[in-house]
Amino acid sequence: MTTATTNRIDSTFSALRSQGKAAFVAYVCAGDPDMARSLEILRALEQAGVDIIELGVPFSDPMADGIVNQMAAHRALEAGASLPGVLGLVRNFRRESELPIVLFTYLNPVYAYGFEAFHHEAAAAGADGVLLLDLPPDESARNAELHELPDLRHIRLIAPTTPADRVPMLARASEGFIYYVSREGVTGAQTDLAEGIADNVAAIKRHTDVPVAVGFGISTPAQAAEVARAADGVVVGSAIVRRVQEHASDPDVARVVGDFVKPLVDAVKSV
Give, in degrees to the nearest 5, the angle at Cα 104 between 72 and 151: 150
Catalytic residue among 65, 148, 175, 226: 65
Q: 268, 236 in Cβ contact below 8 A?
A: no
Catalytic residue among 10, 54, 175, 232: 54
Look at residue 3 and tell me whether its pLDDT is greater than 80: no
Q: So what's the pLDDT on residue 4? A: 45
| pLDDT tens sequence across 214-236 | 998 899 999 999 999 999 999 99
Count Cβ atoms within 10 A of the Cβ of residue 256 and give its class: 0-12 exposed, 13-18 middle, 19 or more buried: middle
Residue 206 CB coordination number (10 Å): 9
Q: Which domains does the chain have, with CATH numbers?
A: 8-269 (3.20.20.70)
Give catalytic status of residue 266 as yes or no: no
Report d(CA 64, CA 98) in Å as an integer: 29
| pLDDT tens sequence across 128-155 | 999 999 998 888 888 989 989 999 999 9
Give catalytic status of residue 195 as yes or no: no
| pLDDT tens sequence across 66-108 | 899 999 999 999 999 999 999 999 999 999 999 999 999 999 9
Q: How far is CA 184 from the centre of its chain?
A: 18
The CA–CA distances, whole Å, from 182 to 28, 81, 111, 160, 167 equal 19, 30, 28, 7, 14
Look at residue 187 and tell me whether its pLDDT is greater than 50: no
